């Protein structure tokens, strides 16, 4: 049996005002930055690259939030927390707009079902990580769990 999985990374980026970085995607509306990991690329390098390409900002990865898998297409999504370290907000090829928002505004703006579920998990992380499997069209949770870090 041949195995083929695709891996994506995303970051919940916060600034010194505790605001969240969002971008407006042409396909899914408002979302957090992230994208596909290229062959031979480290997860962390892919995340830092994607955030810079989509939003113009530099970040430091501060933690691991969770992982989920699209069981229909074998795409694994890995979510991290990040701290803004510099750069100016700028749109890129995959972003129509970029802005800083508070938690409540982020939850209002992000409406795409999978992206919203992942954002809710990111905001609830604390000392736990989220792991879930889903079907995408229509969005349906298949399995879900929260696990304590390091225990």
> For residues 33 and 52, is the Cβ–Cβ distance under 8 A?
no
User: Which tens digit of pLDDT belongs to each residue from 117-129?
Assistant: 999 999 988 777 8
Q: State the CATH number of the domain containing residue 84.
A: 3.90.79.10
Average pLDDT estimate for 85-114: 96
Q: Would 1 be classed as within a structural domain?
A: no
Q: Would 120 be classed as within a structural domain?
A: yes
pTM for the structure as a whole: 0.90
Domain count, the chain: 1
Q: Would 117 be classed as within a structural domain?
A: yes
* C-alpha distances out from residue 91 to 81, 88, 113, Å: 21, 10, 23
Q: Would 40 be classed as within a structural domain?
A: yes
Q: Would 23 be classed as within a structural domain?
A: yes
User: Which tens digit of pLDDT belongs to each residue from 106-118?
Assistant: 999 999 999 999 9
Domain span holding position 80: 6-148
CA angle 72, 78, 83 (to 5 degrees): 150
Determine what percent of the chain is predicted with pLDDT higher than 70.
99
């Amino acid at each position: 049996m041949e195995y083929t999985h695709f891996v994506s990374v995303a970051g919940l980026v916060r600034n010194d005002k505790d605001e969240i970085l969002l971008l407006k995607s042409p396909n899914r509306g408002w979302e957090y930055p992230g994208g596909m990991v290229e062959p031979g690329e480290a997860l962390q390098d892919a995340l830092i690259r994607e955030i810079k390409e989509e939003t113009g900002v530099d970040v430091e990865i501060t933690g691991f939030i969770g992982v989920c898998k699209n069981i229909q297409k074998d795409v694994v999504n890995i979510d991290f927390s990040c701290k803004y370290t510099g750069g100016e907000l700028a749109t890129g090829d995959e972003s129509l707009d970029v802005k800083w928002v508070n938690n409540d505004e982020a939850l209002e703006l992000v409406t795409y079902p999978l992206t919203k579920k992942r954002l809710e998990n990111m905001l609830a992380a604390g000392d736990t990580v989220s792991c879930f499997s889903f079907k995408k069209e229509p969005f349906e949770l298949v399995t879900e769990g929260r696990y304590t870090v390091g225990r």
